[in-house]
Amino acid sequence: MNKRQLGKSDLYVSELSLGCMSLGTDVHEAQKTIEAALDSGINYFDTADLYNEGLNEEIIGKVLKGKRQDLILATKTGNRFEKGKDGWSWDPSKKHIQTAVKDSLRRLQTDYIDLYQLHGGTIEDNIDETIEAFEELKQEGVIRYYGISSIRPNVIREYVKRSSIINIMIQYSLLDRRPEEVFPLLKEHQISVVARGPIAKGILTNRPFSQMSNSIQQKGYLQYSYKELQSLRSSFEKELLQGRPMQAVALQYCLSSPVVASVVAGASSPTQVRDNVKALHTADLTTIELQWIKDQTKKNLYEQHR
C-alpha cells in the first residue's frame, strides 16, 4: 500500500488507516480485524483513551505486542473519565495530559506513542499550556509527535500558529467539504490532514438508502436533504461510477488532495477491512472526474467557531 509523509515528520503512514473505535470489545474478533489490516499493508492505527474507557487501547496493546516497531500508533487525550462512571469531562490541562499519557502507554503496552492528538479543543482553552504539555512529552521521548483532532477553524489556526503539530484529524468527505477552507494554510505550514468519516455514515457506499439510519432518512446529512442525497448518488451512478463502487470514489476523492496523508476507515470485521482496501485500489479518478465531483457537491463553510 502506498504511504505518505505525515507533515514534516519522519512518519510515513499508509494511505488507508484503521480507525479502531469500531473494533468492539471481543479481543479475538478484534485481533482478526487488526491482522487483516496488517496483511493488507496498513501500518497506521488510530485509537483514543476515551474509546470504551480505555479498553480499546488495551485490546490494541495485546494484539500488536511484538509488532510495535513496524507500526505507527496514534491515540488521543483531553477527555477525562473515571472507569465505572458514566460520561466524561473536557480537560486539556497539562496535569491531565501528562497523567493520561502514562495510562495510555500502559494500556498500549509500549514505551512511546508515535502520534499523540488532542481529542477536541476550544478557543477558550489555555492553548499555550496544552502545547507546553505536548512539547515536554516530546522532550521526554514518550511521544514522537503530536497533533489535534478538531473541526474548528479558529482552534486549528491557533495551533498552526503557535505549536509544532504535524497533523489535523478532521471529518472530511465529498459530502463534507468544509475542511477544504483550511487546506491552503495547512499546505503552507506542511501540516497533514488525517481524514475521518470518508464514507459519510455509509451514504457514500452502495448500501441501499432503505438501510440508512432513521436520522439520515428523516433529516438528511449536514447541508443535504434526504432527497438531495438520493439524487446525488443517482447522478454518481449514472455519470461517474462506471462499475466502480461508490466507496472507491469516496476514498479516492479524499486522497486526491496532497495535504491528506491518510484516510481513517473504521472496521469491525476482516471483511470490512478488505472491502476498504479493495475500494482504495479500484478507483483512479481523473482530473475531469474530480472537477465533476466538485461541481456536483456543496462547498460550504463552518458557520460556527470562526
95-125 confidence digits (pLDDT tens): 999 999 999 999 999 999 999 999 888 999 9
Q: What is the pLDDT of residue 215?
A: 92
* Residue range 48-60: mean pLDDT, rounded: 84
In the chain the first and final C-alpha atoms are separated, in Å, by: 37
Question: Catalytic residue numbers?
Answer: 51
304 found inside a domain: no
Mean pLDDT, the chain, whole residue set = 92
What is the model's pTM? 0.93
- Host domain of residue 262: 3-296
- What does the pLDDT look like over 227-242, one tens digit per residue? 999 999 999 999 999 8
* Residue range 260-270: mean pLDDT, rounded: 93
Q: What is the pLDDT of residue 25?
A: 87
Q: CB–CB of 110/68 below 8 Å?
A: yes
Q: Exposed, middle or buried by CB within 10 Å (0-12, 13-18, 19+), for 243?
A: exposed
Q: CB–CB of 77/108 below 8 Å?
A: no
90 found inside a domain: yes
Q: CB–CB of 238/246 below 8 Å?
A: no
At 297, the amino acid letter reads T
109 found inside a domain: yes
75 found inside a domain: yes
- What does the pLDDT look like over 14-43, one tens digit per residue? 999 999 888 888 899 999 999 999 999 999
Q: CB–CB of 90/50 below 8 Å?
A: no
100 found inside a domain: yes
290 found inside a domain: yes
Q: CB–CB of 210/184 below 8 Å?
A: no
Total domains, the chain: 1
- What does the pLDDT look like over 160-208, one tens digit per residue? 999 999 999 999 999 999 999 999 999 999 999 999 999 999 999 888 9
Largest CA distance in the chain: 55
* % of the chain residues with pLDDT over 70: 99
305 found inside a domain: no
Q: What DSSP assignment string belongs to 129-153?
A: HHHHHHHHHHHHTSEEEEEEE---H
Question: CA–CA separation, 128 vs 196, rounded Å?
Answer: 26
Q: In this structure, what CATH number is given to the domain that contains residue 179?
A: 3.20.20.100
Q: What is the pLDDT of residue 242?
A: 86
Residue labelled with grid coordinates 496532497: 258
301 found inside a domain: no
Q: CB–CB of 65/59 below 8 Å?
A: no
Question: CA–CA separation, 2 vs 14, rounded Å?
Answer: 6
DSSP summary character for residue 9: S
At 303, the amino acid letter reads E
Question: CA–CA separation, 19 vs 26, rounded Å?
Answer: 16
Sign of CA dihedral 221, 227, 230, 236: negative
Question: CA–CA separation, 254 vs 169, rounded Å?
Answer: 13
Give 135's pLDDT tier (boundaries 50, 70, 90): very high
Residue 255 is inside which H or E element, if any? helix 246-255
Question: CA–CA separation, 40 vs 57, rounded Å?
Answer: 21
The per-residue b/e assignment along 14-24, b for 16 or more CB within 10 angstroms, e otherwise, is bbbbbbbbbbb
